[in-house]
Amino acid sequence: MKKVILFLSLAITFLFSAHDKPLFEEYKTTLISVEKNRATIKDSPSIMVGSSGIVTYIFDNQESLIISRAIVASKNGTEAVLELVPFDNLAQNNFPRMSMSPKAGDTVKLNYLYERSLIVAPNYETFKKITDFFIDIEWIHPDITAAFLAKRYIPNPDRKRFREMCSINMAGLITFNMDNFGYFVDCVSFKVVKAFKISANSDLAVVPFYSRISDNVRTSPLVIGNREIINYSEYYRHLLGVK
């Protein structure tokens, strides 16, 4: 009886904590200094190394323009260092490119689009556990990403393809799950920003990942180098650089 009460107490705690505060919150601040492709901001517990965001310029009429991406390279409790890279999500070759560069005082938003995530799970059971527990995240259904890969005959998505799928679906994260662990990975930096434990059996894995159309994600004899994934966990651990 005591075990049942303890289990219910833990379940209620998880339920209320999930609703009480989002797992990831957008963090907004201003650039303190900028030198070439590096910038500094005031550090905060909300800042995670590897997380990414955008730098915006605010016009006099309060309209804003995205002028750069920002990736958290390091932090020391006082300041955080950002790597500044071009923002190309909205690139349009038919229009002239803006020549504005980030400068001190510009606004930066980190954990950008972290409310939306792609999901890479080995099977339906794991997919359901993840999406049911992290209720504050809007999940991009794996059927959508699998269809993207099937159309292009890509059974072994690499970092470039995952970034492309993030961009198309306006997602800031990819959640990978294998061998009883889950990893929230930033779409831009491809760094793990948060890890968690989950009971999952990767031995029963679908490749390239669980979806209702995974059988359609195959290679083509006309495409060189697109071999199908043999070992689900080994492939994604290598892709993320985790042991």
CA–CA separation, 95 and 3 (whole Å): 64
Domain ends where: 52, 75, 110?
110
Domain ends where: 50, 82, 110?
110
Question: Is residue 90 very low, low, confident or very high in pLDDT (cuts 50, 70, 90)?
Answer: low
- Note whether 38 and 76 are same-domain residues: yes
Question: Is residue 9 very low, low, confident or very high in pLDDT (cuts 50, 70, 90)?
Answer: very low
Tens-place pLDDT, residues 18-37: 445 689 999 999 999 999 99
**Whether residue 13 has pLDDT greater than 90:** no
Domain membership of residue 39 (yes or no) is yes
Domain membership of residue 21 (yes or no) is no
- Note whether 124 and 33 are same-domain residues: no
- Residue 34, beta-bridge partner list: 39
- Note whether 70 and 183 are same-domain residues: no
- Note whether 90 and 45 are same-domain residues: yes
What is the rounded average pLDDT for all residues in the chain? Answer: 87
- Note whether 232 and 125 are same-domain residues: yes
- Residue 109, beta-bridge partner list: 28, 54
Structure tokens at 168: 């198309």
DSSP H helices, 173-219, are none
- Note whether 210 and 135 are same-domain residues: yes
Domain membership of residue 228 (yes or no) is yes
Residues 39-55 have a mean pLDDT of 97
Structure tokens at 106: 């510009």
CA–CA separation, 190 and 149 (whole Å): 19
**E strand intervals along the chain:** 27-30, 33-35, 38-42, 52-58, 64-75, 79-85, 107-110, 116-120, 138-139, 173-178, 181-186, 192-197
Q: What is the CATH number of the domain that holds 137?
A: 3.40.50
Please tell me the total count of domains within the chain.
2
| Residue written as token pair 């527990």 | 133
Domain membership of residue 5 (yes or no) is no
Could you tell me which residue, 157 or 97, shows the higher pLDDT? 157
Domain membership of residue 6 (yes or no) is no
Percent of the chain residues past pLDDT 70, beyond the cut:
84
Domain holding 133, by residue range, is 116-240
Chain CA centroid to CA 224, Å: 28
Domain ends where: 54, 84, 110?
110
**Whether residue 125 has pLDDT greater than 50:** yes
Question: Is residue 4 very low, low, confident or very high in pLDDT (cuts 50, 70, 90)?
Answer: very low
pTM to 2 decimals?
0.86
Question: Is residue 61 very low, low, confident or very high in pLDDT (cuts 50, 70, 90)?
Answer: low
Domain membership of residue 131 (yes or no) is yes
Domain membership of residue 9 (yes or no) is no
Cα angle: 127, vertex 128, 131; to 5 degrees: 85
**Whether residue 51 has pLDDT greater than 90:** yes
Structure tokens at 221: 């004899």
Strands 173-178 and 116-120 come out as: parallel
Tens-place pLDDT, residues 176-190: 999 899 999 999 999
Q: What is the pLDDT of residue 149?
A: 96
**Helix (DSSP H) and strand (DSSP E) numbers for the chain:** 5, 12
Tell me the Cα Rg of the chain.
20
- Note whether 33 and 86 are same-domain residues: yes
- Contact between 200 and 178 (Cβ < 8 Å): yes
Q: Annotate 96-107 with DSSP letters as a single string.
A: PPP-----TT-E
